Amino acid sequence: MSQATAARLIVGDTTTIGSGTAIAFNECSLAGQRTVGTHMGHRGSRQRASCRARNTTDKSGGNISGNLSVAEIDWFLPRAIGTTGSSPWIPGETIAEWYAWVDKVAAIYQYNKQRIRSFEVSGQETQYLNWNFATVGELETTYGSTWPTSPVPDCGTAFLFSDCVLTYNSTAYPMQSFRLSVDNAIDENQYENSLTPTRFESQDLIVQLQVTCALRSDTIALYDAALAGAAASLAVSDGTTTYTFHFGNLKYMSGAPTVPARGRINMPLNFEAFRATNVTTNAADNQLRIVKTVV
């Protein structure tokens, strides 16, 4: 019987599996995403005929999630926002393509020219942070070689919610939970004269932050924040390495406290990030800027 504990995942920028990066994932749903057309014409009977069935589309994608280490985060983050090089990272106009191999024990599959359509970082009190990357790409194929002895996942360390810091308008606020989502708004349905999509163009950048705080005197300024918004940041750390997500202008969109019969009065809030000004330089006014620092 195939057991999930024996499954493995490698991602890379080329079709050479041995030069990729191994990922210690919690869940991987990469799979082929095919659709089939069937003929529904006159047939002289209530029963459907099996003839004229055709594949109409063929692509692949899914989700890769886990409590990622620094090496794994360093691989995913630049590709997730369309940039290259070292920190600081700001969004580019093109989302890069890459490859993935998944050993599903019964067979090994290769996923061609994947792009990260969106990603999320989330956490709550006393828990590890979870990173989730949603992908879309070209065909799923059966990988015809054996799994390489290297690379293997980096042991590294994981990120805890207790090390996270939310700063809004120069003030740090305590949180109970958060979910940061970045959506590249990829148009994945440009098939043209092909069964598989021919282009994966990013049409937008949607950056949203959902935060839950207890309603107290030290958090009440977040509730119904001014429409003008303010510069903000979310820092996540493993105690040594910190990734700080800077937002040029973070606007309060919705959310309010709910008073229960007893217990804490919680305040779930929704924010969305925008540019501070109409520029695209590597500065504090970008819609999103990710800075990596090491102690």
Summarize pLDDT for 137-153 with one digit per residue, the tens.
999 999 999 999 999 99
Q: Give mean pLDDT, residues 83-101.
A: 95
Is residue 93 scored above 90 in pLDDT? yes
Whether the Cβ atoms of residue 182 and residue 207 lie closer than 8 Å to each other: yes
- pLDDT the model gives residue 284: 79
Q: Position of tokens 């590890």?
A: 128
Higher pLDDT, 126 or 227: 126
- Look over the chain and give the mean of its residue pLDDT values, rounded to a whole number: 94
**Helix residue spans in the chain (DSSP H):** 70-81
- pLDDT the model gives residue 281: 62
Q: Which residues contact 52 (CB under 8 A, 6 or more apart)?
A: 38, 39
Tens of pLDDT along 167-202?
Answer: 999 999 999 999 999 999 999 999 999 999 989 999
Q: Give mean pLDDT, residues 124-141.
A: 97
Is residue 282 scored above 70 in pLDDT? no
- pLDDT the model gives residue 40: 84
Q: Which residues contact 84 (CB under 8 A, 6 or more apart)?
A: 78, 92, 96
- pLDDT the model gives residue 280: 59
Count CB-CB contacts under 10 A for residue 80: 25
Whether the Cβ atoms of residue 181 and residue 120 lie closer than 8 Å to each other: yes
DSSP tag of 74: H
How far are the Cα atoms of 63, 85, 236 from residue 201, in angstroms, in the given order?
19, 21, 30
Rounded-to-integer distance, Cα 179 and Cα 190, Å: 30
Q: Which residues contact 35 (CB under 8 A, 6 or more apart)?
A: 55, 56, 57
Is residue 235 scored above 90 in pLDDT? yes
- pLDDT the model gives residue 138: 94
Is residue 96 scored above 60 in pLDDT? yes
Counting residues of the chain whose pLDDT is more than 70, the rounded percentage is: 98
Which of 197, 206, 201, 154 is closest to 61 using CA atoms?
197
Higher pLDDT, 280 or 258: 258
Through-space distance between the first and last CA atoms of the chain, rounded to whole angstroms: 45
Question: pTM here?
Answer: 0.94
- pLDDT the model gives residue 2: 77
How far are the Cα atoms of 55, 126, 132, 177 from residue 121, in angstroms, in the given order?
36, 15, 7, 11
Rounded-to-integer distance, Cα 235 and Cα 88, Å: 14
- pLDDT the model gives residue 8: 97
Q: Where are the domains of the chain?
A: 4-34+55-294
Q: Which residues contact 200 (CB under 8 A, 6 or more apart)?
A: 95, 97, 113, 115, 136, 137, 186, 187, 188, 190
- pLDDT the model gives residue 279: 64
Confidence of residue 243 (pLDDT cuts 50, 70, 90): very high
Q: Which residues contact 149 (CB under 8 A, 6 or more apart)?
A: none
Is residue 95 scored above 90 in pLDDT? yes
DSSP tag of 146: P
Which of 181, 131, 133 is closest to 161 using CA atoms?
131
Whether the Cβ atoms of residue 143 and residue 101 lie closer than 8 Å to each other: yes
- pLDDT the model gives residue 173: 97
Rounded-to-integer distance, Cα 61 and Cα 200, Å: 13
